[in-house]
């Protein structure tokens, strides 16, 4: 079906995308299911720049099921190798059995994961906007990847670096700091019995 | 937490994703409970979340424009059907209840205060991906981070094995990594075999390419 959904960003730009792309977002899906006669969905909180990035992500994920959050099961109909040859409804059991054994499906999923990891190797500002957009639009995969991108920035850095990156202010008094240190001193060595 | 035990992961490679999915849904319930407690404390600034959070798990679909939206979603995990509820946007509530003083200080939203502008559940999701060793530093960074870290600790790190980073750190000396809490060796025993006595029964398997 070539049905398209029109989305209007916060600064008035209109994006027209296919249903499969737009329905990655649960919010858009439920808004479109309601009686929207003119198919135009306004998204006041998302800028056009961010929305285009989000839609790029959604386009890539449109034809494969949610690889990050749900059980990564590709139904037989979507498998690149077994195009159309598998019959029957794609219940989760048969599809999971299929993708466990199908090498082509596995490769497709891995490629998608690689693409996603590259997608979030961007500066923190953009990741921040992607996080907010994914939260607002409720796109599970984008949420997962944006969270991964943000965690990459935090992992393995000193407190000063983290403070600089994220522009945090230390609002603890010295007494409170000592309290926390005392309370959580066991955290420093998790292997201690 | 019941559902955590029920779902059987067929493939260990995918279990990571499943775990994060399950924990994220219960995360929201957990945070909702904490926020009801917090809002009871500072009732002046925060809008009361109790009508919002009380019908958390049982609400039907209803949409409030540009506000909080409850979507009931079902998903199939493995062979079980799990009913979940998710809340679309916690940020108006979170910003006001967690730090009213901060909002006054940062009146202009042009300052990119990344982590603090995020809703609490998103922040906790990010922190769940951080290593165990970073947790103690995160607790001291700021109040919001500390709160999110403690939630992440209870929700996730209490159940996750710490990943040992010792291999990845630069130990280029080549000496062996000492085991933690290993007994002190006062006398290092030396091998009783000497190279000379072994020469009759040894052979060079891989001759070196260096011309001598």
What local confidence, expressed as pLDDT, does residue B18 receive? 45
**Which residues of chain A are within 8 Å of residue B117 when distances are taken between CB atoms?**
128, 132
> In this predicted structure, which of A93-97, A100-104, B29-33 has the lowest mean pLDDT?
A93-97
- Give the containing element (helix H, strand E) for A15: strand A14-18
Q: What is the mean pLDDT of residues A90-112?
A: 62
Contact partners, residue A3, CB within 8 Å, separation at least 6: A18, A19
The closest alpha carbon to A133, from A29, A43, A20, A36, belongs to A43
Phi, psi values for residue B81, rounded to 5°: -100, 125
What local confidence, expressed as pLDDT, does residue B10 receive? 44
Contact partners, residue B87, CB within 8 Å, separation at least 6: B28, B32, B52, B56, B68, B69, B70, B121
> In this predicted structure, which of A86-100, A106-120, A128-142 has the lowest mean pLDDT?
A86-100
The closest alpha carbon to A132, from B109, B97, B132, B62, belongs to B109
- Cα separation, A8 vs A17, in Å, equals 11
What local confidence, expressed as pLDDT, does residue B33 receive? 58
What local confidence, expressed as pLDDT, does residue A166 receive? 75
Q: Does A124 touch chain B (CB under 8 A)?
A: yes
Answer for the pair B125, A147: CB distance below 8 angstroms, yes or no. Answer: yes
What local confidence, expressed as pLDDT, does residue B99 receive? 42
The better pLDDT of the pair A180, B99 is held by A180
What local confidence, expressed as pLDDT, does residue A68 receive? 58
Q: Does A174 touch chain B (CB under 8 A)?
A: no
List residues bridging with B86 in a β-sheet.
B71
pLDDT digits (tens, 9 = 90+) for A121-160: 888 888 888 888 888 888 888 888 888 888 888 876 777 7
List residues bridging with A8 in a β-sheet.
A14, A42
- Cα separation, B13 vs A109, in Å, equals 12
pLDDT in tens, chain B (212 residues): 444 343 344 444 444 444 444 445 555 555 555 555 555 554 443 333 333 333 333 333 333 444 444 444 444 444 444 444 444 433 343 333 444 444 444 433 444 556 677 788 888 888 888 887 777 777 777 878 888 888 888 888 888 777 665 444 444 444 456 677 778 777 877 877 776 777 778 888 887 765 44
**Which residues of chain A are within 8 Å of residue B69 when distances are taken between CB atoms?**
27, 30
Please report which confidence band the pLDDT of residue A58 belongs to, taking 50, 70 and 90 as the band edges: confident
Predicted TM-score (pTM) of this structure: 0.53
- Residue A186 Cα, gap to closest chain B Cα (Å): 9
Please report which confidence band the pLDDT of residue A168 belongs to, taking 50, 70 and 90 as the band edges: confident
Q: Does A154 touch chain B (CB under 8 A)?
A: yes
Q: Which of B89, B128, B136 sits opposite A135 (nearest CB)?
A: B89
CB pairs under 8 A between A and B: 147
Q: Does B160 touch chain A (CB under 8 A)?
A: no
Q: Which of A100, A136, A150 sits opposite B89 (nearest CB)?
A: A136
What local confidence, expressed as pLDDT, does residue A186 receive? 64
ipTM: 0.71
Answer for the pair A10, A47: CB distance below 8 angstroms, yes or no. Answer: yes
């Amino acid at each position: 079906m070539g049905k398209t959904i029109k989305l209007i960003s916060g600064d008035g730009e209109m994006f027209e995308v296919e249903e499969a792309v737009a329905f990655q977002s649960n919010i858009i899906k439920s808004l479109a299911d309601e009686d929207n006669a003119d198919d135009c969905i306004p998204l006041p909180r998302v800028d056009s720049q961010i929305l285009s990035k989000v839609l790029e992500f959604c386009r890539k994920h449109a034809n494969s099921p949610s690889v990050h959050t749900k059980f990564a099961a590709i139904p037989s109909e979507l498998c690149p190798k077994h195009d159309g040859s598998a019959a029957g409804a794609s219940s989760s059991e048969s599809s999971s059995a299929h993708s466990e054994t199908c090498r082509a499906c596995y490769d497709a999923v891995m490629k998608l994961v690689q693409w996603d990891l590259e997608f979030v190797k961007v500066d923190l500002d953009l990741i921040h906007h992607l996080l907010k957009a994914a939260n607002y639009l409720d796109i599970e995969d984008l949420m997962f990847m944006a969270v991964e991108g943000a965690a990459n920035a935090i992992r393995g850095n000193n407190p000063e670096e983290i403070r600089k990156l994220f522009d945090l202010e230390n609002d603890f008094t010295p007494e409170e700091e000592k309290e926390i240190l005392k309370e959580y001193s066991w955290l420093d060595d998790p292997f201690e019995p | 937490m019941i559902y955590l035990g029920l779902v059987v992961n067929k493939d260990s490679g995918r279990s990571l994703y499943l775990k994060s999915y399950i924990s994220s849904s219960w995360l929201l319930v957990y945070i909702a409970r904490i926020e009801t407690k917090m809002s009871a404390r500072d009732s002046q600034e925060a809008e009361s979340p109790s009508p919002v959070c009380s019908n958390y798990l049982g609400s039907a679909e209803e949409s409030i424009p540009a506000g909080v939206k409850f979507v009931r979603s079902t998903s199939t995990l493995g062979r079980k059907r799990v009913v979940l509820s998710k809340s679309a946007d916690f940020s108006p509530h979170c910003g006001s209840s967690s730090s009213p003083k901060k909002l006054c200080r940062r009146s202009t939203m042009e300052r990119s205060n990344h982590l603090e502008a995020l809703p609490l559940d998103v922040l906790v999701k990010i922190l769940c991906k951080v290593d165990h060793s970073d947790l103690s530093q995160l607790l001291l960074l700021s109040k919001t981070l500390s709160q999110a870290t403690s939630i992440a600790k209870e929700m996730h790190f209490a159940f996750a094995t710490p990943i040992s980073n010792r291999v990845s750190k630069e130990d280029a000396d080549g000496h062996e990594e000492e085991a933690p809490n290993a007994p002190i060796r006062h006398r290092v025993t030396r091998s009783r075999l000497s190279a000379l006595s072994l020469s009759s029964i040894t052979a060079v398997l891989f001759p070196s390419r260096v011309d001598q």
